[in-house]
Amino acid sequence: MRKSLLMFFLLFLSTLFTGLKAQEYITDNPFETMIRLGSMNVKNPIYQMPSGQAGSAYIVSAITSGDAVRYPLGYTVASTPDRHFIIVSKATTLVEKERQFDLIIEENVSISGQFVTIYTDWDRDGVFVSQDQSSLSMRDKGFTASFQVPADAELGKARIRVRLDSSRPSGPDVAVSGGRVYDFVVYVMDKTDHDDCYISVSSSNDNLGKAVIETVANANGRYDKGSSVTVKAEPSSSAANFEGWKVGQDIISRDQAYTFTVNESMHIIAVFSTVEPELSAPQTSTEANPIWFQIKNAHTATERANRYIAYDENPTGEYSSNLRAERPADISDKFLWRLESVSGNRVKIINKTSMKQIYSSGVLETQELTAEVNGSEFVIEPSGNANGSYSIKYEGNDGLLLNAKDGLWKIVLYNAGVGTGSGWYFYRVPFTSTGVENVSVTQVKAFLSDGIVRMKGLPEKCSVKVINLSGQVIGEFVPSDVNCEYKLRCPEEFVILMVKIEGQKPFSLKLYNRS
């Protein structure tokens, strides 16, 4: 009975929309346009799902940008996917025939040694066609794939398959080993006459800073040719340098707030770099006036060199422990620690991400250290090794030294390796918050569901900007109450709220759709 009703409904939709003349399916609402496009064909192609096992690499975010884009893709995840094959259909994009667009991908790890292959099915026959590798532009932790939507592309739902493999695959459907396969659902519509352009921005490193388009787009989410657009880069701290705005491989401006005249669609990247931490003697500090350090292990063997103490409550890849010796390091919070004096020459070692403290039960080797609200006390003294490293001693005990355990990279207590595996360097990070604060310093709660942003506990005299994954401001308002709602023009899978308080630094909240 249910099957009969479903077939009747599909036939009804087919009758309703397949008789439409060219472009009669196009509405002012891109979601309505996509619904109509998706309903124009009762039968959809059948695609083969590759078998295999997932690797450590995964796509953190994906956006679309370019002349073809009528509605942008805004895909992002906060944690590692639990499978090797992912169909991205809830977050999707609407593109026009005979126009160009870019698929801009960011990954969680460096793409070095990774094989990226792209396949498309513009004619909706269920058979993927390999995309020319010359259309790929690689970055350290991501890549951009450029597409020209064919004039003879079928209207409706097409697919782009992205494979991340540890070795070159022989085709789109073969098993994946140590990688992942993503199928992005793309809606294709007819080419329309318009004289506006699609502008998007992103940060080269979200840990170092953010990028936003200050100028509000038109009703179509685009910008009229000849109009002025201002983009703004916000470094996260004084430990981050803003290098400039880049289009392709060219720096087009070094102004943090950059205003330009729109002539064509483009994606602009705010390029940030780090101020190099300096090797320093360990020094205590307070919560009010913190001094942040990266703590580097002194071992020089190939597999053990250049590892830093990190704390991450969502371990991925080769790490199974929240507290571990990780490489490479950056100035993100998980690598930053401060030393707080407690009594005599003892200190507690406090992480910037969680404000948790390194804790040990005092057991040698077999029990890994963790981070807790109330941590253990340590004594930090020169190791005596000629390399100038320091020993971190549990409760001042010379036989209980903090050590980076090789192979598993857990932090343990050890009674040897003085100045090497049990030796540590302290690199001071010149960190003074100057940009957008983390929301943990506030009591604000916010939720995104079905295109509605709900906020609780907002401060008085504040303003809110809603920003999509492309960096566009899609909403801006002054809350009428500390608890309020804001309805977006179109549903989004992910937004950033920028809350600006009178006389204080702004802060941001990342919201994922909960519906």
- 23-34 pLDDT, tens per residue? 577 776 676 777
pLDDT tens-place string over residues 176-195? 988 999 999 999 999 988 88
Q: Does domain 278-429 have CATH number 2.80.10.50?
A: yes
Are the CB atoms for 394 and 362 separated by under 8 Å?
yes
pLDDT exceeds 60 at position 442: no
Predicted pLDDT of residue 368: 95
Q: What is the mean pLDDT of residues 365-393?
A: 96
Q: What is the mean pLDDT of residues 35-45?
A: 75
Q: What is the mean pLDDT of residues 268-289?
A: 90
Q: Which of 9-13, 91-95, 100-104, 258-262 has the lowest mean pLDDT?
A: 9-13
pLDDT tens-place string over residues 70-120? 888 888 887 788 899 999 988 889 999 999 999 999 898 888 889 999 999
- Of 10, 448, 465, 481, the closest CA to residue 232 belongs to 465
Sequence spans of domains, the chain: 2-39, 52-189, 196-274, 278-429, 437-512
Predicted pLDDT of residue 28: 67
pLDDT tens-place string over residues 300-314? 999 999 999 999 887
pLDDT exceeds 70 at position 276: yes
The vertex-381 CA angle with 376 and 384, nearest 5°, equals 140
Are the CB atoms for 471 and 200 separated by under 8 Å?
yes
Predicted pLDDT of residue 431: 66
**Topology (CATH level 3) of domain 437-512:** Immunoglobulin-like (2.60.40)
**Rounded Cα–Cα distance for residues 199 and 222 (Å):** 7
Question: 198 is written with which tokens?
Answer: 């699609």
**Topology (CATH level 3) of domain 52-189:** Coagulation Factor XIII; Chain A, domain 1 (2.70.50)
User: Quick one: what percent of the chain has pLDDT higher than 70?
Assistant: 91
Instruction: Tell me which H or E stretch contains 403.
Output: strand 401-404
Q: Which residue has the higher pLDDT, 5 or 45?
A: 45
pLDDT tens-place string over residues 129-149? 999 888 888 888 889 999 999
The vertex-102 CA angle with 39 and 20, nearest 5°, equals 20
pLDDT tens-place string over residues 461-475? 899 999 988 898 888
pLDDT exceeds 80 at position 35: no
Predicted pLDDT of residue 510: 85
pLDDT exceeds 60 at position 12: no
Predicted pLDDT of residue 205: 81
- Mean pLDDT taken over the chain: 87
Are the CB atoms for 459 and 501 separated by under 8 Å?
yes
**Rounded Cα–Cα distance for residues 181 and 59 (Å):** 10
Q: What is the mean pLDDT of residues 150-157?
A: 94
pLDDT tens-place string over residues 489-502? 888 888 889 888 87
Q: Which residue has the higher pLDDT, 220 or 261?
A: 261
> What Rg do the C-alpha atoms of the chain give, in angstroms?
26
pLDDT confidence of 340, banded at 50, 70, 90?
A: very high
pLDDT exceeds 60 at position 434: no
pLDDT exceeds 50 at position 243: yes
pLDDT tens-place string over residues 50-64? 999 998 899 988 999
pLDDT exceeds 80 at position 255: yes
Question: Could you give the C-alpha distances from 255 to 37, 94, 184, 231, in angstroms and in order?
Answer: 42, 32, 35, 10
pLDDT exceeds 50 at position 271: yes
**Rounded Cα–Cα distance for residues 454 and 461 (Å):** 18
- The values of phi and psi at residue 439, to 5°, are -70, -10
